[in-house]
Structure 1
Amino acid sequence: MVNQLATPYKPRIRSAFDACWSFLENKDRGGEELYALLDDGTDDGGIFIYMQLDENEANIPSWDNISYAIGSTAKEAYSFENKAALSSPLENIDGSLLEIFIENLKEINFNFYDHVQDIKDFLARGKSPSKKEALNELKRIGLLQ
């Protein structure tokens, strides 16, 4: 998704995704830290600000999916820490978000949508993949070069 965006914030998005992967693999990031990637409390940082600064409406589905992925991971980190109090944007994250995410893929790049079942099959193999395993699978099915 990030490659589809024409934005100067790609390095920050990739850094945020790396932090999310770090939590998923190592449980070494907290919910507050991951949520700060979305909203760092300033007027010039965080994914929510970058979304607002992007005037290209065609990028909205990508920004939404980026924020959904980071927000879902932040919520999972809060849960892992047994913290019930969430930032209000995270309270709205539930299972229905996955369907919205998948629908957005159609608008971002229909090729992404064509491979949704491949991704679901990969994830259904039982264990949570590492970042390296996930990237290798995306390369294998032709979504990464």
Structure 2
Amino acid sequence: MWQSSAIDCNNLVASDSFSPAQPLSCGQNHMEMWGSTGYTDSGHWCSRAAKILPESPGWVCFPEVLVPLRVNHAGDVECMSDNRRDCFWQQSFSDCQRLADNAPLGLIPLVCGSAHNTEYGGTGYDTPGHWCQMGAIFYGLGK
């Protein structure tokens, strides 16, 4: 809920009638709701937040997805890659975790959502069992 000042915002949150709304997120979710990711306008809160917030803490492997994943500042799942196209798939969970713990330099991740759609013709979130969808479920992103 938009408030015209920080004082009004704090008063609303402190009030007994306040109940949190569904959070607004940047990236693919923002694109679906508002027609833009929020990152293209330098004055937009998504763009401003992306400049100051860190990436997700690190790469993580899940037993069902044998490629290191993380969530980027846009709120999209991405897989470890060096070319924005091919994920670094591993043969076992232990191999995946070892790679996640020792990420190489020069990574250029493949990002789910609009970037994945441009490359492959689908966001990845909309395909059952796809690593993008599985990652979104694991991270609780609701995509």
Q: Give the TM-score taking structure 1 as reference length.
A: 0.29
Q: Give the TM-score taking structure 2 as reference length.
A: 0.29
Q: Which has the larger radius of gyration?
A: 2
Larger relative contact order (Cα-Cα within 8 Å, sequence gap ≥ 6): 1
Greater percentage in helix: 1
Greater percentage in strand: 2
